[in-house]
Amino acid sequence: MNEHYTPAVMASLATKLTPRDRHLLRTIWTHRVLTSHQIARIAFNDPTTARHRLAKLHKISVVDRFRPNPLTGSAPWHYVLGEPGAAVLAAEDGTTIAELGYRRDRALTPAYSQRLAHTIGVNDVFAHLYGTARHTTGCRLHTWWPEGRCAAQWGKHVRPDAYAKWTENGRTIDFFLEYDTGTETIDRALAKLHDYAALTTTTGITTPVLFLTASPRRETNLHNRLRRHSATPSVPCATAVIGPNPHEAIWLPHDRSENRLRLADLASHWAQSSTAKRP
């Protein structure tokens, strides 16, 4: 244990943290950085309660925070794990702060990263799905692996922005997420499908790839290219525009031009398409 975190210090922290606080610390650590709005969806029932609790957690330094300076308007507080928070997680895991992989300077790197907007965007999808599952009967986010864990698992072939498993009313889909902000060319986006096809060949598991795009125009261009090239036969794809309800009927499969589907309905659509194509 770090010499600053004696048993007395840890005992003091333990009296100040609720089970929800501990869950929140681990969630922030897993996702690197979360905004106050995202945390409210993930762990609270209203933003006022979230704001007050986060202020208390920041006061005891288990979380750090920063606020970006956007070109227009204002940004919410962005929260990362603080060193005392890392000490709590390390104690729960029976390890040390160093073995946990925490360093405060590294924890704060999202504040200076050019990829901050991308990271927050991906985490926003997670927060919306998690929040929907909290409040909606029949919905469950079974799994969400962020970029780092995906790279560790599949980095030889692909590096998706996330992998997830979602259920709604008995319908379940696993998917890879590509959060497309428009910084890459469409050719580069399409080229990734060959890598996903290679992963499918290696694992024998077909996992859809979902592209969330920054604008309707970007989605239209990408979807047209997917239809023209029929995507990659072993890799079903769908597109949508970034928005607040990723579980709803926003997804357009690569093999149709209209009638968008709910996230959970994509799996049955591709199963039916596959059956229809059999001789």
The pair of structure tokens assigned to 197 is 């096809």
**According to the model, what pLDDT value does residue 8 have?**
86
Is the entire prediction scored with pTM above 0.75? yes
Contacts of 189 (CB under 8 A, 6+ apart): 178, 180, 211, 222
Beta strand pairing status for 139-146 and 63-66?
unpaired
- The whole-number pLDDT of residue 32 equals 97
Q: How far apart are CA 12 and CA 122, in angstroms?
A: 35
**The pLDDT of residue 278:** 32
- Low-confidence spans in the chain with pLDDT less than 50: 1, 274-279
Q: State how far the Cα of 78 lies from the Cα of 34, in Å rounded to an integer.
A: 6
pLDDT of residue 93: 96
For tokens 């469950």, name the residue. 140
Ramachandran category for residue 106: left, alpha or beta (phi over 0 → left; psi -120 to 50 → alpha): alpha
Per the structure block, which two tokens stand in for 63? Answer: 């979380």
Query: What pLDDT is recorded for position 232?
Result: 59
Instruction: Determine contact, residues 63/57, Cβ cutoff 8 Å.
Output: yes
CATH classification number, 7-113, choose in 2.70.170.10, 1.25.40.80, 3.40.50.1000, 1.10.10.10:
1.10.10.10
Give every strand in the sheet of 63-66, ordered side by side.
34-35, 78-81, 63-66
Strands 237-241, 209-213: parallel, antiparallel or unpaired by DSSP?
Answer: parallel
Distance CA 113, CA 269 (A): 38
In the block, residue with structure tokens 């698992």: 153
Residue 154 to residues 27, 90, 157: CA-CA distances in angstroms? 22, 26, 6
Q: Could you report the per-residue pLDDT of 39-66, keeping only the tens digit for each?
A: 999 999 999 999 999 999 999 999 999 9
Residue 213 corresponds to which amino acid?
A: T
pLDDT for the residue numbered 168: 98
Structure confidence at residue 178 (pLDDT)? 98
Domain ranges of the chain: 7-113, 117-277
